[in-house]
Amino acid sequence: MKKIIYLTIAAFLWTSCEKDFLDTQPQNTISSEQLASNPASFQAVVDGTYAAMRTFEIGDRGGHIDYGHKAITTATDFMSHDVTMPFLHWYGFFYSYDGRVQSNSRARMVWNTYYKFIAEANSIISSLDDPSALDDTGKAVLGQALTARGFCMFYLARLFAHTYIGHENDMCIPLVDGANFEGKPRATVSAVYDQIVADLTQAVDLLDGYARPTKQAIDQSVAQGYLAAVYLERGDWAQAAATAVAARSSYSLMSIDAWLDEGFADIGNGEWMWGADIDAESSTIFASFFSHMDNTSPGYAGALGVYKLIDVDLYSQIPDSDLRKTAFVHPVDGNPTYPELPAYANTKFRDATFFEADYVYMRAAEMYLVEAEARARMGDASAADVLFELVSNRDPGYVKSTSMGDALVDEIYLQRRIELWGEGHAWFDLKRLKKPLVRDYDGTNHASFGLFNEVAEGNMFRFQLPEDEINANDAISESDQNPL
């Protein structure tokens, strides 16, 4: 019988018996025999997953756009209309939407990356199957594994299916555990989100009181942060708001000076909730976020002129009083510090080192925006207060909104686009809010190979399942494939 690809990956991760897979695994993955003799060693598997999340070619030898979680969130930004690039280069196949096609290696890279992380999480979850019998260390390990599985399923669900609301009974992704390696069919969107919520809810309980050693590790606030985002996706407004508040409770917003002065390069930033601490040993050099997104770097963006720009229409909506606007090159005045950069080029992401700047996965500003939107959806007047607390920190001229309902939601969405630009949220927000892709308009600065529009919830807003997965999995047929 054929075996499903992601479960085959899980088997090789667990038994360590295939050289091809060993080359792409975190260096500190340990054997099942070691784990059985020392349950505390499960933390080493979790730490290995954190390392894999920023490892070169973890997905499937995808070249210099294959460097883990940050690589994929960056890819989705190029599928939005908020980030532009001047010519076809790395990430160009995501920008043109060719990377979502079943025969494209990039679709396989996305699939494999997250299912590899899920496989490692499942090896822990299936072994620590009785939380009541665990000590505090065991509970913390299980909580981290459940969060890892939950957030990976959340990304896969949004990549390979439409948003939750209105699509609850659509086909989503296969739900797998560590119990067996047989192929699984695509579960419904509702079933997948139920599992995600169950994982993250349990994780929040298990991680209560856990003090992580570094921000590279998952703690309760990270589990709460993803749970808040999932609740927002599902339309559970009250729970989204409350959970977002809990998630950000121990963090403070960075000042606008910090935001503009390398606020996105150091995990020590007080607003960062979770990230990767990159050093000389873990750096993936040119195959890295800053190589692609830092227009001042010696990487692809800076040295080769594959500049990453803000969409001109979005730029025009940023008030001149908003200091975040200065993170993009003025179309007339330019940028005196970086005179070689073209109009609209971003200076938000700058690495003062040689590819050792850190990666941000989650920060408190996102939680303010989740809370504000959830409260606005409920008709809660305090939504404007939450939004004001965030935006007035960035824009001295900002006046608290008097809007309510959909008008306020639209304001919050604009602030999401500005605040979180380049951090991996733009395409997912288009899907969640059921908005169209709009690149082809008068005055656009989008490149010709990406100059097209797509209707809201069009076929292009879903990745196709990788061709190899369909060929290898008896439980999935061509009829189960997403449309081209």
Q: DSSP letters of 252-292?
A: -PPPHHHHHTTTTS-TT-TTEEEEE---TTT--TTSSHHHH
Please indicate, yes or no, if residue 401 is contained in any of the structural domains: no
Given a cut of 70, whether residue 33 has pLDDT beyond it is no
Element (H, E) at 361: strand 359-363
Please indicate, yes or no, if residue 88 is contained in any of the structural domains: yes
Give how many domains the chain has, as a whole number: 1
For residues 144-160, give the mean pLDDT: 98
More confident residue, 465 or 178: 465
Q: What is the pLDDT of residues 429-479, one digit of tens each?
A: 999 999 999 999 999 999 999 999 999 999 999 999 999 999 999 999 999
> Length of the chain, please?
484
Distance CA 284, CA 99 (A): 22
The pLDDT confidence band at residue 41, using thresholds 50, 70 and 90, is confident
The pLDDT confidence band at residue 182, using thresholds 50, 70 and 90, is confident
Please indicate, yes or no, if residue 138 is contained in any of the structural domains: yes
Q: What is the pLDDT of residues 389-398, one digit of tens each?
A: 999 999 999 9
Given a cut of 50, whether residue 13 has pLDDT beyond it is no
Q: What pLDDT, on a 0 to 100 scale, did the predictor assign at position 75?
A: 98
Domain span at residue 49? 1-210+455-470
Given a cut of 50, whether residue 14 has pLDDT beyond it is no
Q: What pLDDT, on a 0 to 100 scale, did the predictor assign at position 394?
A: 98
Q: What is the pLDDT of residues 404-430, one digit of tens each?
A: 999 999 999 999 999 999 999 999 999
3-state secondary structure 289-352: HHHHHCCCCCCCCCCCCCCCEECHHHHHCCCCCCHHHHHECECCCECCCCCCCCCCEECCCCCC
Q: What pLDDT, on a 0 to 100 scale, did the predictor assign at position 16?
A: 31
Please indicate, yes or no, if residue 76 is contained in any of the structural domains: yes
Q: What percent of the chain has pLDDT over 70?
A: 91
Q: What is the pLDDT of residues 303-336, one digit of tens each?
A: 999 999 999 999 999 999 999 999 999 999 999 9
> What is residue 95's three-state secondary structure?
helix
CATH number of the domain that residue 52 is part of: 1.25.40.390
Please indicate, yes or no, if residue 174 is contained in any of the structural domains: yes
Please indicate, yes or no, if residue 430 is contained in any of the structural domains: no
Please indicate, yes or no, if residue 383 is contained in any of the structural domains: no
The pLDDT confidence band at residue 177, using thresholds 50, 70 and 90, is confident
Find out whether 395 and 414 touch, Cβ atoms under 8 Å: no
Please indicate, yes or no, if residue 427 is contained in any of the structural domains: no
For residues 300-305, give the mean pLDDT: 96
More confident residue, 265 or 27: 265
